[in-house]
Structure 1
């Protein structure tokens, strides 16, 4: 285990840039996994990180010590920082001070709608994007396509909200969705609060692609017109519509329910 105590250390400067700058993360092709749960999930699903970084005080935590031992057994790098230095790279308040530096995974296949997938059309809130990724992974969907303007999937807030879903999904970012929909081999279902078709009337036992739109504007008119179906989730009460992440969860798990009947 290496110990760094200087803010001028080259690795620490690089680490801080990745932690605080989306542009730096994109340029480096690396992400920061903050906290015990994400680090454990990475080890379980992907293996060794490029680098494990802990605060010196956190080494006394049994969960952190177990993670560090696993990382060292895989012969990956481990670095300890004083708490004061670690605080500048973590965005989790009152968290347990451990992060992994990992290479942001790239999709294992080429783009193409040939199986169940999710298309995010300008979904801007990181919490919503993370929740959608988590629901997609939990319901057996394997691919997510993000249009320009959708929140960066490897940002810290999206990673925390998704709780490890990233590690089992193929995530395509900055994808123009219209050509993808035109060439789709599966039905494309665009969600809309104004649609006449109701979710529970559809046959969802086969693969479909779900299109979910911007929190305020919804799915773009172009994608609505290209979609095979425009779908509404029925709801009671006087609220105008569901939150996009809640809508996604209802849709995904209705598809799962029908498949398992």
Structure 2
């Protein structure tokens, strides 16, 4: 099927795309960049992509096979360069964008009971295939969230849950920073703490917070509790204030990353990456 061509800002469909880009239409988001669009089309969420937007130049250099793949079950629209540029927030879109339906919230029970295997990891001494989930508590910076999602994908995290007051995940800054991680880890947003932590406790998850405490993460990893724990839930708190007081009551332990004394703290995303790496390859 031949693509539709849009040359005018008065075009109704262009105005529709612009509303999506400005997050004025619930349930839809606009992805920017060739790599990200390709990641989407190769992911479990490929069916969520309703429209691919391309510049004239990008369409002209595609092979017939590539055009067929992109247009499979979805609309393909060619936009004038100025129109496409008005939709994206970056200069690196490379003439590519896509309209995506935001995935529906996954069933919590199904996520927590599903058994995950990690056969893609190389052999590591004392490696354990722990089930690890990540909980974001009032995290506010989109760049931090995207980086955390990217780390979660890298370390085989089973699912990510966000508590109320956490920044919305399906926005352009988060998606760009996640570098395709959005399509690799199930993400459930705005879950009430009481509901989530009750389910985690029912499914025998050890709930770990990150922050300042006497116990370093490496001391914890040498403990009998850690050796027996095959289900772990890691809570990452707000950039400035850490884990909220109302969330702390659910924690089984608070773990600290040791640092030289002349350093105050790590960035939330950096602390998350260090923590997940330590827990995965303990």
Q: Give TM-score scaled by structure 2 length.
A: 0.82
Does the 8 Å CA contact 2:161/2:188 hold for their aligned counterparts?
Answer: yes
Distance change (3 Å), C-alpha of 1:96 and 1:67:
farther
Which of 198, 202, 207 is the matching residue for 2:216?
Answer: 198
Structure 1 window deviating more from structure 2 (161-170 vs 126-135): it is: 161-170
Residue of structure 1 in register with 2:9 after alignment:
7
CA distance in 1, matches of 2:250, 2:74: 48
Does the 8 Å CA contact 1:142/1:168 hold for their aligned counterparts?
Answer: no
Does the 8 Å CA contact 1:113/1:181 hold for their aligned counterparts?
Answer: no
Verify: 1:233 aligned to 2:257, yes or no: yes
Q: Per-residue CA shift, 1:119-173, capped at 9, x if unaligned?
A: 1111110000000011111111121111222121100000000011111222111
CA distance in 2, matches of 1:230, 1:178: 19
State how 1:76-91 maps to structure 2 within 5 Å. Answer: 76-91=74-89
Distance change (3 Å), C-alpha of 1:236 and 1:208:
same
State how 1:154-169 maps to structure 2 within 5 Å. Answer: 154-169=170-185
Off by >3 Å, runs of 4+ in structure 1: 64-69, 111-115
State how 1:97-176 maps to structure 2 within 5 Å. Answer: 97-110=95-108, 115-176=131-192
Residue of structure 2 in register with 1:92 after alignment:
90
Q: Give TM-score scaled by structure 1 length.
A: 0.88
Residue of structure 1 in register with 2:37 after alignment:
39
- Runs of 5+ unmatched residues, structure 2: 114-130, 221-225
Does the 8 Å CA contact 1:121/1:220 hold for their aligned counterparts?
Answer: yes
Q: Displacement of 1:66 after TM fit?
A: 7.2
Q: Displacement of 1:60 after TM fit?
A: 4.3
CA distance in 2, matches of 1:180, 1:212: 15
Q: Per-residue CA shift, 1:81-114, capped at 9, x if unaligned?
A: 1011111101112430111111111244325756
CA distance in 2, matches of 1:255, 1:9: 52
Secondary structure, counterpart of 1:248 in structure 2:
helix
Does the 8 Å CA contact 1:119/1:211 hold for their aligned counterparts?
Answer: yes
Q: Per-residue CA shift, 1:218-249, capped at 9, x if unaligned?
A: 00112122201111111124111110000100
Which of 231, 239, 243 is the matching residue for 1:207?
Answer: 231
Does the 8 Å CA contact 2:136/2:237 hold for their aligned counterparts?
Answer: yes
| RMSD of aligned Cα (Å) | 2.1
